[in-house]
Amino acid sequence: MVNQTTTSHPMEILIIRHGQSEADLLDVHEGRADFPLTELGEAQARKMAMSVAKQYPPEIILSSTLKRASGTARILQEAIGCEIRFYDDLRERNNGVLAGMPRKEAAIKYPLPKGGRPLHIPIQDGESELEFRYRAERIFQEILYDYREYQRIAIVSHGGMISNLLKSFLKQPYGDFRFFTGDTGIHLLEQREDMRVIKFLNKLEHLM
């Protein structure tokens, strides 16, 4: 039986992290805090967009609705000229009361429990690691199915979400490891009818 998410042709999936945001300069917890790109972040996004447009332009861009990702996605769209669609479910983990809070203040007000926060327990007003992993799995499966007729798509999102999307692609359960993505880092995956292929991870050559 053929899985519903398979396609009759290979489908390439570009997964791209946003550029530097203002939160990076303020030393605050970002997550759901909605900071825009910095000037450097915009420059990083333009370099990424030029590289993607030249080497592997997508037919459509799917983006998180948070400013740092949507801003990056719009810069990519300008370089490609394709359609762009926005998804709340591609946003970073909901970190509740920590969103926008200075890290030093958060360490005092909401210190991590000894041994770390249990996987099923969220920070106040946020989502747990397990809820976040499930959200990533659900949106990724939805994307693979809804866009299965496309030959190449791009997803613009955030470090934590991207790590979970990669785990989903690799069919990995929750684990205490993470895929790192630098600012505007690019991952290229390929969904084939009989297998899943990783072409490269966290490509940053466009910034050098």
Is 149 a known active-site residue?
A: no
Name which of 84, 63, 57 is nearest 17 in CA terms: 63
* Given the residues 12, 30, 92, 129, the one annotated as active site: 92
Beta bridge partners, 191, equal: 11, 196
Amino acid at 57: P
Q: Are strands 186-191 and 196-203 parallel, antiparallel or unpaired?
A: antiparallel
* Given the residues 12, 18, 29, 30, the one annotated as active site: 18
Buried b (16+ CB within 10 A) or exposed e, 164-189: bbbbbbeeeeeeeeebebebbbbbbb
Q: Which two tokens stand for residue 168?
A: 């989903």
Distances (CA, A) of 180 to 17, 33, 158, 203: 10, 20, 10, 11
d(CA 68, CA 97): 20
Is 187 a known active-site residue?
A: no
d(CA 151, CA 122): 37
Which residue numbers are catalytic? Answer: 18, 92
